[in-house]
């Protein structure tokens, strides 16, 4: 392990909710909850004001409403969050070539690899400047942890929340970890925690005192040895630069099961288009199209078709997905649909028009839940057909007379809009018909108006 705290962990504070508060002056200082608003919705992020009431991420939205009935409930705006995340990750990559993103709002950085930190003083200075630059560029706050290992840097950033910086000095790790609960260590979830508790082990120090042999007996060789090493503050994992994605996919979970086969086909076509948009945004193409269907009884079917060459043509992906759907029985209803592309490449095969019409039988996988990859964001609510257009709470709109605003709520043929911008004061509220021709969806406004030359990180070289 290093002898200087040159591994940095950044965790943006209540990211989605904080971005919404910064975007909407009337919500600043108030409880804000972001997530799926339907009967099956879950909380993606809760502001610190909402957490006072016991609301937390991954909680069922119905439970959150009972705990905080007066909070503002908003549908996520993922393109907006991704744009802010790209700004933050850009600041991190200016510090070091070794940046390991964990999600849109969290990443490790090897400061030593970038030559911007080599001891405690330079690491603390770099962390402070990063926090200042994040605030200047995005208007949001992030918490920074600095330590000699990834595990300890993440623990430090958790201690720094919200809007702080904590540096763990090398040599103090054992004393710091000792009294902490076992769940503090990576890989110790509820089941392992309960198993250790039944053995009389509740703190990190008690893990160290139990010894490696006892932990191997309790948890097995791999887990026991790893946990013992972490309890001794040994963590040699390197910061690994962002790896290429192996696949690109999108999926939606529906508030009510879809029974209409025509609607199912339309949803698959829409998901295919979204998947290709994400594929093109990444500058990639792919040769295997994958369809995922979760039915009314929670059984999950996966179908795939491998094309003759990689493509980023939406017509090709749409037609492949449609063919795959033909082999799936959706009679009882569908609760989730997904379309993905794997076998990624950096080029496309130009002559694929014929391939779009070649019915290659999709290979069926077992009718069971496939292994799921970790996702850094919940599925966006599906957009209804134009004839049924709804106005999503929290999303941006523009009125021909009143200007930019956001949807506070809608129903019974009416939509309520608050007209305000990130740099205005709290705005006025007006209500319109949902089909008002002067009201239309709009793109989010930037949280901060950038000034020329703003946002550059500078560090001193070692003398």
Report CA Rg, the chain.
Answer: 25
Report angle CA 363, 367, 373 to the nearest 5 degrees: 85
Which residue(s) pair with 396 in the sheet? 406
For residue 205, give the H/E element and its range: helix 204-210
Q: Give whole-number Cα distances, 59 to 10, 32, 64, 91, in Å.
A: 24, 14, 7, 32
3-state secondary structure of 418: strand
326 tagged catalytic? no
Q: Is 105 annotated as a binding residue?
A: yes
Look at the block and give the residue holding tokens 């082999």. 327
267 and 385 Cβ atoms separated by less than 8 Å: no
Residue spans of beta strands (DSSP E) within 71-224: 72-74, 99-103, 106-110, 142-147, 165-167
Residue 300's contacts (CB-CB under 8 Å, 6 or more residues apart) are 292, 293, 294, 336, 367, 368, 369, 370
Tokens of 19: 């971005």
Residue 351's contacts (CB-CB under 8 Å, 6 or more residues apart) are none
Listing DSSP states for 116-134 in one string gives S-SSHHHHHHHHHHHHHHH
Considering 106, 112, 251, 267, which one is annotated as catalytic? Answer: 106
Reply yes or no: is the peptide bond before residue 162 cis, omega within 30 of 0.
yes
3-state secondary structure of 280: helix
Give the residue from 89, 97, 43 showing the smallest Cα distance to 65: 43
105 and 17 Cβ atoms separated by less than 8 Å: no
Look at the block and give the residue holding tokens 């018909």. 433
50 and 31 Cβ atoms separated by less than 8 Å: yes
Q: Is 11 annotated as a binding residue?
A: yes
Give the residue from 13, 83, 84, 86 showing the smallest Cα distance to 46: 13
- Can you tell me the distance from the alpha carbon of 394 to that of 378, in angstroms, rounded to the nearest whole number? 16
- Can you tell me the distance from the alpha carbon of 302 to that of 304, in angstroms, rounded to the nearest whole number? 7
- Helices 78-93 and 120-138 sit at what angle, rounded to 10 degrees? 150
Enumerate the known binding-site residues.
11, 105
Enumerate the known binding-site residues for Mg(2+).
11, 105
Residues annotated as part of the active site: 106
């Amino acid at each position: 392990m290093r002898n200087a705290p040159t591994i940095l962990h950044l965790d943006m504070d209540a990211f989605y909710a904080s971005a919404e508060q910064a975007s909407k002056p009337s919500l600043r200082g108030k409880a804000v909850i972001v997530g799926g608003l339907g009967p099956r919705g879950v909380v993606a992020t809760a502001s610190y004001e909402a957490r006072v009431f016991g609301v937390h991420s991954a909680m069922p939205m119905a439970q959150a409403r009972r705990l905080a009935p007066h909070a503002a409930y908003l549908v996520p705006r993922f393109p907006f969050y991704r744009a802010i995340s790209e700004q933050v990750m850009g600041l991190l990559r200016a510090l070091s070539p070794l940046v390991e993103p964990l999600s849109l709002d969290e990443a490790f950085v090897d400061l030593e690899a970038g030559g911007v930190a080599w001891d405690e003083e330079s690491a603390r200075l770099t962390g402070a400047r990063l926090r200042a630059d994040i605030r200047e560029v995005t208007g949001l706050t992030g918490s920074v942890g600095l330590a000699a290992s990834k595990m300890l840097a993440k623990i430090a950033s958790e201690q720094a929340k919200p809007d702080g910086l904590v540096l763990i000095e090398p040599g103090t790790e054992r004393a710091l970890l000792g009294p902490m609960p076992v769940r503090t260590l990576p890989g110790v979830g509820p089941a392992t925690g309960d198993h250790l508790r039944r053995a009389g082990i509740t703190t990190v120090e008690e893990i160290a005192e139990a010894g490696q042999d006892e932990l191997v007996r309790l948890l097995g060789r791999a887990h026991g040895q790893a946990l013992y090493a972490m309890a001794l503050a040994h963590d040699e994992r390197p910061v690994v630069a962002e790896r290429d994605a192996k696949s690109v996919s999108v999926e939606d979970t529906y508030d009510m099961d879809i029974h209409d086969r025509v609607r199912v086909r339309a949803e698959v076509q829409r998901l295919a288009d979204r998947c290709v948009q994400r594929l093109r945004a990444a500058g990639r193409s792919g040769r295997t199209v994958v369809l995922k269907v979760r039915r009314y009884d929670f059984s999950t079917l996966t179908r795939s078709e491998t094309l003759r060459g990689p493509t980023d043509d939406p017509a090709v992906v749409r037609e492949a997905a449609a063919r795959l759907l033909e082999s799936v029985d959706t009679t009882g209803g569908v609760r989730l649909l997904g379309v993905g592309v794997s076998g990624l490449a950096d080029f496309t095969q130009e002559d694929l028009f014929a391939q779009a019409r070649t019915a290659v039988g999709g290979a069926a996988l077992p009718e069971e839940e496939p292994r799921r990859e970790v996702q850094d964001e919940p599925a966006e609510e599906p957009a209804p057909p134009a004839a049924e257009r709804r106005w999503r709470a929290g999303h941006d709109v523009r009125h021909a007379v009143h200007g930019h605003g956001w949807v506070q709520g809608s129903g019974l043929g009416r939509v309520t809009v608050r007209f305000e911008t990130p740099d205005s004061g709290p705005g006025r509220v007006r209500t319109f018909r949902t089909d008002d021709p002067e009201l239309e969806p709009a793109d989010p406004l930037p949280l901060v108006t950038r000034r020329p030359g703003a946002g550059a990180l500078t560090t001193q070289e070692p003398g």
